[in-house]
Structures are given as structure tokens and as C-alpha cells.
Structure 1
Amino acid sequence: MLLEGILLPDDYVNLSRQIISTTGGLPLALEVIGSLVYRQNKASWYDVLDNLREIPHEKVQDKLKISYNALNHEQQQIFLDIACLFVDKDKTNALYMWKDCGFRPDHSIQVLVCMSLIKITDHNKFWMHDQLRDLGRKIVHGDTRPTDPRKQSRLWDPETADNIIGTKERKKHIEAICLWETRVYTSKEFSRLPNIRFLMLVGGNFSGDFENHFSELRYMTCTWVSREFLAINFHPSNLVVLKPSYSSITEEWAGWSQFKVAKKLKVLDISHCSNMTRTPNFSDYLSLERLNLEDCKKLTEVDGSLKKLKCLIYFNAHGCENLRELPKGIGGLHKLKYLYLGRCEKLRKLPKSFARVTSLVELDLSHTAITRLPDSIGNQNRFWKEVQLNRLEQLVEFDMYNSDLEGFSGLSNLKRLKRLTLHKCQNLTAIQGLGSLDSLEQLNIIICPKIGSLDDLSNLKKLQFLKISSCEVLQAVKGLDELETLTTLFFVNCRSLKSFLNVFNSKVLDECFLNITGCPNLEAESFGGTVSMYKERKVRGKRRKRNRGV
């Protein structure tokens, strides 16, 4: 018998049937309880079964709470934070808050995932079943009837939160609050919330003297903020995440001076600030690891103090369509791993110092006006009309869209590169070093009409996916016969292509999917199916030729 996809020993079969019966066969309850008893001894199974039997069938949440009760205090607090604050939110920023609160969130999240209490989506967001979310919120509500929000640790409902913040008593239990009213909140109101560590403000503002009010604040998001900042002595000295995104603030915003004391700040997200033309000075945020400027449409300049952010790992300026250049000091960011400059349509070049950025893992230059990179990346002393990649050994993904680049070199040094996409590179004529990308798993060459030949690909032993489309002068693809890992091959509108694979003398698996469309110089101008089916088609073609006496 199976539980959680694992074949159970015979002496556990009866126990599993009893657990299924006591949960009423509900899929969510089975998944959660199954994860709880997974790899536990028989005594633990009996304990869980006894607990389930004490709970009526209709009380599903109480059954689910058995798994919650099995968590330690830290894991419970993170579970409740996710249920109340972070469902469908990116997990990265929350990790910074938890770590600064003394938690070990990486391990705790792994436990929650293994117990099927949460999931992490492909977009790195927290996901939680509605019933588990409601369970968490019910736990926060507590057992008082009627519930007393003043005694809750987290207030996620904006209407309730706005009512509670106006009451006069001290509310020491509240750690997180979400406010959505477009009004001014006073320092007096927040003085009654001494333990706030998470604050969400949408459309509101602050007024008054906030000295010593936010000593516990770690995470602050304030969207739709006005240009004015009415508070004084705001000073959240322990803040690690600040998100004044989707706001009308500029580099002159008075709030910047209030946040200078946030020396521990790790995340600054000022994305979608439509009036910002220049970033603020970053000199006070030397611990910053993540900087997000995405879709600041009017941004033309990044302050030169960027060079001081020696801890910066992530820099996102995607969609800053008026950004013309990056500070020269970007070359000093030796920890930078993720750089996103896609849709920076007026960005024509990168500083020469970019050659010193050697720790990149992901780089997006799509839909930019860049035609050449500093050749110093390739240890030269002048500019080439080629992309030089010799010093980006850590790169695992490289995508180039709508580029005027004329060539690539230095690819052979990218020993960790797993995905390479070249799309609408109209002037690209060569991809030197392509055949040396030992780790490459996915290769897309699309609408590159001037590429006439490719390196021999026989050494790409990890290649799984290959798509070549609208490369009109490409005549042959060599080396595919040696690739046992291939699962998918696409050849579309390659009108000059004459050869690519000898299916009768090839290591490519019969199960590999092959699609040929619009390739008139191949025997099969159009085909869709497995390599095995393609072989059979060719055999039938040979038979027909023999029968006709050809």
C-alpha cells in the first residue's frame, strides 16, 4: 500500500488505512498527516492516530493542527507569518527579516515544505492551501470569543488594523500590521505598538515625532507613498527590508534622510516609482545586498555611490527605459551575482570596469541598445564588435534578444553555462567556442539569419534541448550523433539546412522528440515525432525508392 508515494511495509498497512479513515480521505489532510508520519516509527504513528480519533470528522482544521503542534516554536512563528503576511509573496525578503530576528529560516522552511504545510513555487513565492492559511490565521486569532484583535500578534485585515491602531491602550502583543487607509498615522498611535517588526502601509503617511518607536521594525513596505514625509526622528535602526515601491517619491524625498540610520538594511526596493529620475545616494546603506529599480521609467541616472555597495548581490534595473549608463564604479561590486538590465532601451554600453565583475551568475541585456562590451573582459585594450565573455566564469544563464552584436568570443571559458539563448541577433555571424560549453543543457538560436556554421557540438555531453529557428543560411549542424542526453530537437525554417543527424549511426535516444518544419533541403521538410519514428519514416522512404528501381 502507498502513502505519500512510498511503498509501506506490511505491518504499517493497517495503520495507514486507519489514518485514511480518520481523516475522512480528504486529500489535503492525507498529504499533511502523511508528511508528518513519514519515516517515523510505529509509536509515532499510533500517537498521531490517537490524536486524530479524538477530533470529529468535520473539524478538518483541527486535524491539520496536529502537524502544526509538531513544529518547534520558531517553525510555528514562520508558519504563522506566512499564513498572515506572505502567501503568494517572494520568500527572499522574508528570509532577511527572520534571520535578523534570530531565526534559522532556511531550515525551518525546509521542514514546513517536507511536512506539506507550504510550497515554494517556481517563481520563488510562498504558496499555502487556503485551509492551512485559515488554520494559521485562526491560531493567531486565539481562543477568545469574541476574538480580541488587540491580543493578536499579527493584524493582516486592513479594516481591523485601522480600528485597533486608534485605540488608546498599549498593544504589546502586536508584531505585524497592515494598514491600507489613505490617512496620516501619528506617532502617538504607533507609540502604543512597541513590538512592531513588520509594517505594511498602502497609501498613508506618518506625522509626528517617532523617536524610539520602531526599534524592533525589520520589514517595512510603503506603497503609493506621497512625495511628502511628515514624520521626524523616524529612525528604524534595525530595518533590513525597505520597499517604498509604486510611489511618487524621487531622490529628493524627505524620507531618505529618516532612513539613514538603517545601517543593517539588506533590501531596498524602489521599483515602479514613476517620477524618479535619479536614485538616492546609497552611502548610508553599505550592508545592502539587493537593489531593485525595476520599471522606474523616468530613471536616467544611478548615483555613483553604487560603487560603495560591496555586499550587493542582486541589482535589477529591468524596464528603466531612459537609463543611459551605469556608474563607472560598478566594476568594484565583486559579489554581484544577478544583474538585470533588460528593456533598458537607451543603454548603449557598459563601463569598462564591468570587466572586473567576475561573480555574475545571471545577466540580462535583452532589448538594450548595447552593441559591444568592453573588450577588457577578454583582456584586450580596445573595443570589439563582439561580446567578450572570458571573465564571466560563474555565468549559468545568458540570454540575448534583439541585439546588433556581430559576434561572440570567450564562450569557451563559461564552463558552468547551462542555458544560452540568442534571439534576433540579426548581425551575428559566429559563435566561437560554442562547442566547448561542457555544462550546456539548453541552446536556442532563433532568427539569427547570418549564422552560416556552428562549432562541432559533439562535446556538449549534457545538452538536452536544442532549438534552431529561422537561421536561413545555416547548412549543417555537426556532432549531434554523439549526444545521448538529447530529449528535444527543433529545426524550424532553416531553409539552407542540409544535414543534422545520422539517425542510423547515432547515440541519440529513440525517445528524443524531433520537430522539423520549413526545411526544404532536408529529406523530411516537415516532421513531428520521436527519433524512432523518424528512422521508420526514412526506412519506408528507402523501400519506396528500391521498389521504383531508383
Structure 2
Amino acid sequence: MVGIWGTSGIGKTTIAKAIWNAIAHEFEGSCFLPNVREGSLVQLHETLLDKVLGKNWKIQSVDEGIGVIKKRLRHKKILLILDDVDHLEQLENLAGDDWFGEGSRVIITTKDRGLLDNREIELIYEVKKLEYNLALELFSWHAFGRSEPPKDYLELAQRAIAFADGLPLALTILGSHLRNRSIGRGQVILDGYKGEPYTHIERILQKSYDALDDDAKEVFLDIACFFKGGNKNSVLGIVPKNCIEVLVDKAMITIEFNHRILMHDLLEKLGKDIVHKESPNDPGKRSRLWFYEDVKQVLTESTGTRNIKGIMVKLLEPDEIILNPECFRNMVNLQIFINHNASLRGAINYLPNTLRFIDWPSCQLQSLPPNFQGNRLVAFNMLSSHIRHLEGFKHLPNLTSMDLSGCQFLEKIPDLSGIPNIKYLILSGCRRLVEIDDSVGLLDKLVQLNLSRCVKLTRFATTLRLKSLEELDLSDCKRLKSFPEIEVEMESLWTLNMAGSGIRELPLSIAYLTGLLDLILKRCFNLTGLELRLLYFWSTLRYLDLSGNNFVTLPECISKFVSLDQLDLRDCKSLLEIPQEVLPPRVYVVLLDNCTSLEKIPKLPLSSEVEYLRLINCVRLRGYDITENSILDQVSVSSLSVSLCLSLYVIWLR
């Protein structure tokens, strides 16, 4: 284990990321866990297992997580970075002795030297303040876009780095603050730091905040209180785009490659301190609430006021809160309501029409209050809630995202033509959902439609005019018998998943899906070879999953998929043969595991593109058929069981 130790803003996380980027490729698995002090141990265990083993792990307890990690990772050489650890318990439950394989490395960043000493970590790197030359260079890059200041700005730069006191965060923010300023204006800004009752870094952060316009200040406070670590695209739906750009430009937030919004702990603290000072003794008069005791008081005692713009319910441990029926009555300016882990019980008589973002999983309400119009809503997420109908959703012009996955009491989706700008409609796992109104097929801004595991769905739009749709998931819609007619070219759709659906026939208009890349027809027992022949025109298709079907021979039409590179035929237990010319010319991965009736595979010519052929438990395939294949003179074979192919049989070519 290696410790990276230093004060806030000194660059510990930056160093850890640089190490990660430099050496992660040398390990069998790697995981960077940011902000460990803010996450639950169970969630951190799940993330570690997901990153290293590549599965969607679900862990129920800390003890279970430790057991799984020890069992599954004990022989793997991994790189694990634990960023911002502040309790010994976190370290002991995330990286115990001998948990990982030989050659593994665990790197910890922390402000607490004692934590590293208690763990008896000997290799500790103390991050020190930047020396003058490095501080001047870092400041200059942010202030002037070059490695050194213009000569006439040297005095200003020297004064600025003296204020920053060698802290990289302060140098970055101060440089961004002074960018494109005249010398005179820059001196005035630095004069403003005198006499403030803060440390140097706190003065710099406060002045950077003070220099923002009113809109950018509001967005800064929203991110500090609610959206740190959130997805930029989700946040952009409720805040002005230019404000995000301003905060990035001023180095007050950063956006990671996966669109995650990052904010330094000191800036987060600044934002929360600003909000707390609005009303130190009465949380109901503040603009934003996130501390669980304040939230509980306001929701149970109905002490909220018109000042409140946002609430996030995030308890130390999952618990129950009994709502006062009138708790939202006076919050006439409430825009954001997020519930992370509380069970909010009790009826409510009122919701403010100013709400723009509702994230309320496991909501106990069967319907929304009759007064609620929701015409300002941008995102409405009520996963696994008790909601039974959406009759009030008639005119929501601003709504772009609705996630009702796992709503077990929802039986019908009504007319949604009054929601013309919706992009994401997630209804997966709504097991009582029977009918979806035809209007859903006409939402031309829709990008993602997920109806997976709607096992009782029998009616889903008679026609589709979804020009913007990119992802359509109908997997495990077992009672859905037909696919809608497509009335316009849907070239944006790149993935179609009908695995395990009851669909019996495809319309001729399926030809309008001209941009399809991935097609998943796993366990589509009702589709015949005749239906598959309708797909021959898909020259764009790259991935085709026909696993678990009951073909006797592979349909020849598959050879027409000239761009196909991956073909999955696992568990096709009736498949007897693959005709000689059926494999598309560019396919390089073919999976045939558990094709227990397969007796013949085609002889692959030397010009074949196939690089990976897998046969597991193909009990009728004779070794002669394999070894006679003319392409085997180019093959490296490992774990080969020729006689019955009972064990793993993998052929790597090239």
C-alpha cells in the first residue's frame, strides 16, 4: 500500500489520477474509487467488483462484499485507488491484507496522516506546496494560456502566486479569475483579498464566487448542494448551459470524459456554507436543504418557506420519514426534489408547480396531488413507486426524461402527445403494464424507449414515427405479438433488443431501420426463418444475437449482412449445421456454446475473417470436422477437447 497525504487543494487526487493513467494498463483489473468518504461501503464494494470483473454486482451487506472480494480477487493483480479516505473503517473494509493477488497495488489519498500510520503504511508521499517556478507556470497557463506571464504582467503574477501560497487549486482558480483582465483590473481584484477573515485559499474561492453573475451563482450552489458527481447532461436540462461553461472556464467545476461533474471539496464546502449563512438557525428559510436533520424537520413539521429552491433527502442510514400532508404548501419556489434513501410515507395535499426536477424512487403516492400541473417539469423519475396512473400528464412541454421503471401498479400509459420534447422514456420492469397509447409512437424527439420486462404488455403503438430514436428495448415482453408498422425512415436507431419477446411477425416496413448496428433476437421462439429473411437488407448490422432459438439450420439470409462482425448462436440446441456459404464475409467472432445438436461447421477458407470461434459443450461435433477445417493451419488452439468438445474449446486465429 502507498499513501498520498496532504492538505485540501494540494493536488492529491491529481497525482493519483496521473498514476492511474500511467500504470493502470499493467494490471489485470483496476478501479479508481473517488470521494470514498462520501460513499457507502456496500456501493463501493459493488463499484470495485463491477470495474474489475465487469458484471453488475448486487451486494446486500458489507460482510458479503468483503467475502466476495476476497474470493473473486485474491488471485488477480489489480490496481486500486482509494481517493479521499477519512476513516480507518473505510480502509479496513475496502483493502484488507492479502485480499488481492501478487503484484497488486493499493494507493490511498487522505488528509489524515494518522490514518495511514494506524494502518502501518510505510510508503507515504507527502504532497507539498508548489515551489515558486512551478507555481508561476501553473498560474500562467490558466491566466495567460502560456507557461510564463508576459513581461509587463510579471509583477501581477508574482503577487497572485503569493496569495495562492503554493496551492494548485488556488493557483488554478485565481489564474482563471484573472484571465483576460487588464493589469489595473487585476490589481484591483487582488486588492480585494486584503482584510478578509479567511485563509488565503478561502479568500480566493470566495472572491471567485462573488465575481460570478447571479445565474452562475445559482448553478454553482445547485451543484455544490445536489449535483456534485452527477451527469452533466441531466443537469443541463434544468440549468442554463452557458452557466456550466462559465463554471468550467473559471475552474470551479470540471467535466470528466464520462460527463460526470466534479467539484473540489473546498468549493463544495464554500457553497454549502453560503447557503447555511442565509438562515443559520431556521433551515426552512434557506434556499437549499441537504443535511438530513434539517430536511427531516422541514418535511415533518411543515416549516418550509418560499425561500426553498431545492431539497435532497440523504440520510446516514435508510430510514422512514412521516410526511406532513402540508409539508410542501409554502415552498412555492421549490424546483428540485431528490430522495436518495428515505422511505417517505404519508399523503401530501400539494406539490409546487415550480418543480423542474423530481427524483423520488419508491414513492408511496398512488397519484400526484390534483393541483400539480407539472408544466415546468424537465425530469420525472419515480422508480419502483406506487404510482398507478398518469392522467395528469397532459401538457408537459418541458419534460425531457421520465423514468418509471419497476412501477408495479402502473397498468396503462395514456396519451403523451402533450409531452412533445421527451427524449428518454424508461418503463422497464413495469410488470402490470398492459397498454401503451399510440401517441408514444409519434414522439419524434424520443431517443431511448425501454420497455424491457413489461411481461404483460400486449399493445405498444400501432405505428412508429420516431426519427430521433436510438435505442429500443422490448426484451422479455412475452405477450407482445407484433411489431408496429414503421412509417418513416428511422436511421438513428442503432440498437434493437427483442430478446425473449413474444413477437411473431415483423412488418415489411422494418426496412426503414436503415442505421441498425445491434440486433438482439435471443430466445425469440416465435420468429421463423421467413421473418428473418425480411432483415436481409441491413447492410449496417454489426452484431446479431440469435442465441437460444430453435433453428435447425442457420438461415442463408444471414450471409447478406455484409458488415456483420459478431454472431452469437449460443444455446441453439436444435441447430444441426451451418451451411458452407452462410457466414457473412466480415464476421470475426462466432459463438456456438451449447449447440448440442450441431454436427457440422463450415470449412473456413484461408481468406476468412473469423478470428475467434468458440465451441463449448457441442457434444455431437466430431473432432474430425474440426481438425479437417482448412483454416486450422493458422490457428493457435488452447484447452482443446476434440472428441466431444465437452470442455472449453476456443480457436484464436491470426
**Is TM > 0.5 for Structure 1 vs Structure 2?**
yes
Aligned equivalent of 2:324: 184
Aligned mate of 2:569, from 445, 458, 468: 445
> Are 1:361 and 2:494 matched, yes or no?
yes
Shift of 1:295: 0.9
Shift of 1:108: 8.3
> Are 1:473 and 2:598 matched, yes or no?
yes
> Are 1:42 and 2:165 matched, yes or no?
no
Residues 124-147 of structure 1 show CA distances to partners (whole Å, capped at 9, x for unaligned) of x8475xxx4634531321368878
Mapping of 1:45-444 within 5 angstroms? 81=222, 84-86=225-227, 92-98=233-239, 101=240, 103=242, 117-119=254-256, 126=260, 132=263, 134-142=265-273, 148=280, 154-163=288-297, 172=307, 174-179=308-313, 181-184=321-324, 186=326, 191-192=330-331, 194=333, 196-200=334-338, 203=344, 207=348, 213-215=352-354, 217-227=355-365, 231-251=369-389, 256-257=391-392, 259-328=393-462, 330-351=463-484, 353-354=485-486, 358-359=490-491, 360-370=493-503, 372-377=504-509, 390-404=511-525, 405-407=527-529, 408-427=532-551, 429-444=553-568
Please give the alpha-carbon distance, in whole angstroms, between the structure 2 residues aligned to 1:22 and 1:48. 17
- Structure 1 counterpart of 2:505, which letter? L
> CA, structure 1 residues 355+501, in 2 after alignment: closer, same or farther (shift >3 Å)?
farther
> CA, structure 1 residues 458+319, in 2 after alignment: closer, same or farther (shift >3 Å)?
closer
Aligned equivalent of 1:547: none
> Is 1:82–1:126's contact at 8 Å kept on the other side of the alignment?
no
Structure 2 stretches of 5 or more lacking a match?
1-14, 23-125, 180-207, 315-320
Give the TM-score normalised by the residue count of structure 2: 0.58
Please give the alpha-carbon distance, in whole angstroms, between the structure 2 residues aligned to 1:182 and 1:311. 39
| SS in structure 2 of the partner of residue 320 of structure 1 | coil
- Structure 2 counterpart of 1:481, which letter? L
Deviates more, 1:240-249 or 1:75-84: 75-84
- Structure 1 counterpart of 2:522, which letter? Y
Shift of 1:302: 1.7
Please give the alpha-carbon distance, in whole angstroms, between the structure 1 residues aligned to 2:246 and 2:604. 47
> CA, structure 1 residues 280+469, in 2 after alignment: closer, same or farther (shift >3 Å)?
same
- Structure 1 counterpart of 2:404, which letter? I
> CA, structure 1 residues 96+179, in 2 after alignment: closer, same or farther (shift >3 Å)?
same
> Is 1:455–1:478's contact at 8 Å kept on the other side of the alignment?
yes
> Is 1:264–1:287's contact at 8 Å kept on the other side of the alignment?
yes
Please give the alpha-carbon distance, in whole angstroms, between the structure 1 residues aligned to 2:297 and 2:329. 13
Please give the alpha-carbon distance, in whole angstroms, between the structure 2 residues aligned to 1:230 and 1:392. 38
Give the TM-score normalised by the residue count of structure 1: 0.67
> Are 1:502 and 2:641 matched, yes or no?
no
| SS in structure 1 of the partner of residue 337 of structure 2 | strand
Please give the alpha-carbon distance, in whole angstroms, between the structure 2 residues aligned to 1:394 and 1:204. 46
Please give the alpha-carbon distance, in whole angstroms, between the structure 1 residues aligned to 2:611 and 2:288. 49
> Is 1:490–1:515's contact at 8 Å kept on the other side of the alignment?
no
| SS in structure 2 of the partner of residue 306 of structure 1 | helix
> CA, structure 1 residues 144+229, in 2 after alignment: closer, same or farther (shift >3 Å)?
closer
> Is 1:490–1:514's contact at 8 Å kept on the other side of the alignment?
no
| SS in structure 1 of the partner of residue 606 of structure 2 | helix
Residues 350-388 of structure 1 show CA distances to partners (whole Å, capped at 9, x for unaligned) of 24x257674432111112223x323424xxxxxxxxxxx
Residues 326-345 of structure 1 show CA distances to partners (whole Å, capped at 9, x for unaligned) of 232x3344443321111222
> CA, structure 1 residues 443+338, in 2 after alignment: closer, same or farther (shift >3 Å)?
same
> Is 1:423–1:445's contact at 8 Å kept on the other side of the alignment?
yes
> Is 1:339–1:363's contact at 8 Å kept on the other side of the alignment?
yes
Q: Tell me the percent identity.
A: 18
Shift of 1:397: 0.8
Please give the alpha-carbon distance, in whole angstroms, between the structure 1 residues aligned to 2:224 and 2:630. 53
- The number of equivalent residue pairs is 466
> CA, structure 1 residues 209+161, in 2 after alignment: closer, same or farther (shift >3 Å)?
closer
Residues 226-262 of structure 1 show CA distances to partners (whole Å, capped at 9, x for unaligned) of 44557453223221212233221212x6xx42x4342
Structure 1 stretches of 5 or more lacking a match?
7-18, 25-29, 378-388, 533-550
Please give the alpha-carbon distance, in whole angstroms, between the structure 1 residues aligned to 2:312 and 2:273. 19
> CA, structure 1 residues 103+64, in 2 after alignment: closer, same or farther (shift >3 Å)?
closer
Aligned equivalent of 2:10: none
> Is 1:457–1:480's contact at 8 Å kept on the other side of the alignment?
no
> Is 1:337–1:361's contact at 8 Å kept on the other side of the alignment?
yes
| SS in structure 1 of the partner of residue 295 of structure 2 | helix
Give the superposed CA RMSD.
4.8
- Structure 2 counterpart of 1:43, which letter? E
> Is 2:445–2:468's contact at 8 Å kept on the other side of the alignment?
yes
- Structure 2 counterpart of 1:450, which letter? L
Please give the alpha-carbon distance, in whole angstroms, between the structure 1 residues aligned to 2:496 and 2:269. 43
